[in-house]
Chains A and B, each alone.
Chain A
Amino acid sequence: MFALFESFRSALESIRAHGFRSLLTSLGIIIGVTSVIAVVSIVQGLSYTINAQFAGLGGNSLTIRSYTPFKKQLQGRLAKLRDSDMAAIERRVDGISHITPVLFTQTGSQGAISYRSQTSFSRVIGIGPSYLDVNSVYPQEGRFFTADDDARRRLVCTVGVDVIEELEMPDNSVGEYFRVGNEWCKIVGVMEKRGELLGFSQDNFVLLPYGTAKRIMGASRDLDIQIQLLVDDMNRQDEVKERVRRVLRQEHGLRPGEPDDFKVQTAEQLTESFNTVINMVTAVSAGIVGISLLVGGIGIMNIMLVSVTERTREIGILKALGATRQDILLQFLIEALALTMIGGLVGVAIGYGVGAMVAAMLPGFPAAHVPLWAVMLSFGFCAAVGIIFGIVPAAKAAQLNPIDALRYE
């Protein structure tokens, strides 16, 4: 313990004595750790907020969408979900409390909205009345549309707050008319503000009754819809999911062995698939950092080897004064270790600074968040690099013959 402490002290003295060289030596480590901490802090900050948002999404909702494998896409055979599919699920699957179709308008003129001289684009979505319950979203002004609006295909809609803003409508816009595609729609409600996600507004949308949306998009066309449903008992979610799958396979006439042409996803799976992306980004950045730390480590080994040669005489003196091989080994090893650890420390500090700065500069980006594991991992890696690349020079120093070392010029 005493020897460790003394070695640490002399290592720090030696690093300070060669300040500039020490800085250059650990620059590789500093840059490596800086980049990983910066990337991780941004990505984790994102993940933190997104997970918080997903948590509000309702754990027991299922989303069903069509899925066409790439090969079939090339052949032009697109899978679709239709009204009949939803009807079949409603009829044949138990344990569903709410179900709604979701119809996204195709890009193009259908997304164009205008009011007086203002024109803009928005996501226009056709939904059933249960949409509110499935997604736990509610209007803050006015009302939501009724089953009657849907059945009569009335040209009414509820909008996100951004639509009001972009079209420069008056503050109380309920009752105003504006153009969606080629139709005039009456605003009956304004939805609660949801804020931004990844810098994209979540409040730029127009919700139409499903029937109305189909009318606008042309009822004759073979539309592809999504189906959202709410399972009434959370514990039966898997069971319901499996049942939905079987019903849809039958409806689509899929033979055993043929893959599903649709996907049933839980909110949890959405979070998971997002987390998969996050983890991949983290892993890739960790890999890059691993390489840069490796390069940094080689740099450190190089400098340490030079340093051993340069300090041969010093080593000889220390040995004459009674330093054992172990003392010398420890001294040089700890010097390498101290170099990498200080590099790691500086890297974590700068990395956090860069992450926080980037997050602050990008509008709508969540605050940077550095998880403890990333810091620990960085330090662990730095320590490992220090030991691995320090051991060779340290062993070389320890093995020096004192007589030769003393005679070294």
Chain B
Amino acid sequence: MKEAPVIQLQDVYRTYEMGDQVLHALGGVSLEISRNEYVAIVGASGSGKSTMMNIIGCLDRITRGDYLLNGINVGDMSEAELARARNREIGFVFQSFNLLSRASALKNVMQPLVYRGIPRSERKRLASEALARVGLGDRLDSRPNQMSGGQRQRVAIARALIGTPAILLADEPTGNLDSKTSQEIMALIDELHEQGQTIIMVTHEPDIAAHCERVIHLTDGRVESDRRQRTVAA
């Protein structure tokens, strides 16, 4: 039997009402993403890819349609259940890193586990392991402002992965990095994919999207194309 998809969107709408105007950020999107897929969501600005990312990441709610995450309908979830889903199923990597500026790398990575009730010593152990895996085993006590962009993004990736989420959700992960560092980060993400991590990446850069096995192209809140491709090694 085929495994159930991690993400199932069925005729999803997300509309904003601005005065008497109704704006469809997403206008009837249907797609499925399975375990271990490596997907890029691309499109021009205003195409709805950020909205898509927010919805998949359980940060935003859909207006109409169905969103099943691991077979569970997100539309029925309460605020607290959404938070729980973000904590357990999603690992975010943002363009602007979004690290806690006052906390060390270690504390940043430990933070998601606080909401799972894992004791501090265990959190520390898991977080230092995760940081070692992204090559920052020697920067545990550095603060974000003491690190380079690439290092910060590595911390963010370690933080995203510490909870072993179903999906790694990356929003323009290389948008703030120079090309050399971008390559390094993409190499890291490729490696994660090879280890079996499901990855969804929002980007507008074709060479970043080229790393993915599947590219979903959004235009005006609809899926324009959804194709699989041969990947380019970093």
Instruction: Tell me whether A and B are bound partners.
Output: yes
A interface with B by C-beta (< 8 Å): 2-3, 6, 10, 13-14, 17, 313-314, 316-327, 402-403, 406
Candidates B98, B102, B163; contact of A320 at CB < 8 Å:
B98
Between A and B, how many residue pairs show CB distances below 8 Å?
60
Q: State whether B54 touches A403 (Cβ < 8 A).
A: yes
Tell me how far the C-beta of A205 lies from the nearest C-beta in chain B, rounded to whole angstroms: 69
Interface centre among B59, B94, B159, by most A CB within 10 Å?
B59
Of the candidate stretches B82-90, B172-180, B219-227, the one touching chain A is B82-90
7 residue pairs of the A-B complex, CB under 8 angstroms, read: A2-B117, A313-B98, A317-B100, A320-B59, A320-B92, A324-B84, A402-B59
Q: State whether B117 touches A321 (Cβ < 8 A).
A: no
Q: State whether A324 touches B102 (Cβ < 8 A).
A: no
Instruction: Please give me the residue from chain B that is nearest to A409 by CB atom.
Output: B96
Interface string of B130-164 (1 = CB under 8 A from A): 00000000000000000000000000000100010
Known: A6-B114, A403-B60. A322 touches B100 (CB 8 A): no
Tell me how far the C-beta of A3 lies from the nearest C-beta in chain B, rounded to whole angstroms: 8
Q: Is B27 an interface residue (CB 8 A)?
A: no
Candidates B94, B102, B159; contact of A406 at CB < 8 Å:
B94
A320 to B60, CA, bound (A): 11
Within 8 Å CB of A314, what residues of B? 100-101
Q: Is B48 an interface residue (CB 8 A)?
A: no
Candidates B86, B94, B99; contact of A319 at CB < 8 Å:
B86
Q: Is B22 an interface residue (CB 8 A)?
A: no
Q: State whether A320 touches B111 (Cβ < 8 A).
A: no
Tell me how far the C-beta of B141 lies from the nearest C-beta in chain A, rounded to whole angstroms: 14
- Known pairs A17-B102, A318-B100, A320-B98 / 13 extra A-B pairs, C-beta < 8 Å: A6-B114, A13-B102, A314-B101, A317-B100, A318-B111, A319-B83, A319-B86, A321-B111, A322-B86, A322-B87, A326-B80, A327-B115, A406-B59
Within 8 Å CB of A2, what residues of B? 117
Within 8 Å CB of A321, what residues of B? 86-87, 92, 111-112, 115, 159
Q: State whether A320 touches B80 (Cβ < 8 A).
A: no
A249 to B89, CA, bound (A): 91
Tell me how far the C-beta of B90 lies from the nearest C-beta in chain A, rounded to whole angstroms: 8
Within 8 Å CB of A320, what residues of B? 57, 59, 86, 92, 98
Within 8 Å CB of B207, what residues of A? none
Interface centre among A14, A319, A324, A325, by most B CB within 10 Å?
A324
Known: A6-B114, A323-B83. A317 touches B59 (CB 8 A): no
Q: Is B20 an interface residue (CB 8 A)?
A: no
Q: State whether A322 touches B98 (Cβ < 8 A).
A: no
Instruction: Please give me the residue from chain B that is nearest to A5 by CB atom.
Output: B120
Instruction: Please give me the residue from chain A that is nearest to B97 by CB atom.
Output: A317
Known: A320-B57, A321-B112, A323-B115. A406 touches B98 (CB 8 A): yes
Candidates A10, A13, A317, A324; contact of B83 at CB < 8 Å:
A324
Q: State whether B94 touches A322 (Cβ < 8 A).
A: no
Q: Is B79 an interface residue (CB 8 A)?
A: yes
Q: State whether A324 touches B80 (Cβ < 8 A).
A: yes
Known: A322-B86, A326-B80. A317 touches B98 (CB 8 A): yes
Within 8 Å CB of A319, what residues of B? 59, 83, 86
Which 8 pairs, one residue from A and one from B, show the smallest C-beta to C-beta distance?
A: A322-B87, A324-B83, A322-B115, A321-B112, A324-B80, A322-B86, A317-B98, A402-B59
Within 8 Å CB of A403, what residues of B? 54, 59-60
Candidates B60, B83, B99, B101; contact of A322 at CB < 8 Å:
B83
Instruction: Please give me the residue from chain B that is nearest to A324 by CB atom.
Output: B83
Q: State whether A325 touches B80 (Cβ < 8 A).
A: yes
Tell me how far the C-beta of A8 lies from the nearest C-beta in chain B, rounded to whole angstroms: 12
Within 8 Å CB of B79, what residues of A? 324-325
Within 8 Å CB of A14, what residues of B? 102
A318 to B114, CA, bound (A): 10
Tell me how far the C-beta of A403 lies from the nearest C-beta in chain B, rounded to whole angstroms: 5
A321 to B83, CA, bound (A): 8
Interface centre among A322, A325, A327, A406, by most B CB within 10 Å?
A322
Within 8 Å CB of A317, what residues of B? 98-100
Instruction: Please give me the residue from chain A that is nearest to B53 by CB atom.
Output: A403
A320 to B54, CA, bound (A): 10
A316 to B59, CA, bound (A): 10
Instruction: Please give me the residue from chain A that is nearest to B80 by CB atom.
Output: A324
Interface string of B47-65 (1 = CB under 8 A from A): 0000000100101100000
Within 8 Å CB of B116, what residues of A? 322
Within 8 Å CB of B80, what residues of A? 324-326
Interface string of B104-118 (1 = CB under 8 A from A): 000000011011110
A3 to B118, CA, bound (A): 10
Tell me how far the C-beta of B183 lies from the nearest C-beta in chain A, rounded to whole angstroms: 26
Within 8 Å CB of B115, what residues of A? 321-324, 327
Tell me how far the C-beta of A85 lies from the nearest C-beta in chain B, rounded to whole angstroms: 81
Q: State whether A322 touches B88 (Cβ < 8 A).
A: yes
Instruction: Please give me the residue from chain A that is nearest to B98 by CB atom.
Output: A317
A321 to B101, CA, bound (A): 15
Tell me how far the C-beta of A101 lies from the nearest C-beta in chain B, rounded to whole angstroms: 79
Instruction: Please give me the residue from chain A that is nearest to B156 by CB atom.
Output: A317
A86 to B112, CA, bound (A): 87
Within 8 Å CB of B86, what residues of A? 319-322
Instruction: Please give me the residue from chain B that is nearest to A313 by CB atom.
Output: B98
A323 to B80, CA, bound (A): 9
Q: State whether A322 touches B59 (Cβ < 8 A).
A: no
Tell me how far the C-beta of A79 lies from the nearest C-beta in chain B, rounded to whole angstroms: 75
Instruction: Please give me the residue from chain B that is nearest to A14 by CB atom.
Output: B102
A319 to B114, CA, bound (A): 12
Within 8 Å CB of B117, what residues of A? 2-3
Instruction: Please give me the residue from chain B that is nearest to A317 by CB atom.
Output: B98
Instruction: Please give me the residue from chain A that is nearest to B81 by CB atom.
Output: A324
A326 to B115, CA, bound (A): 11
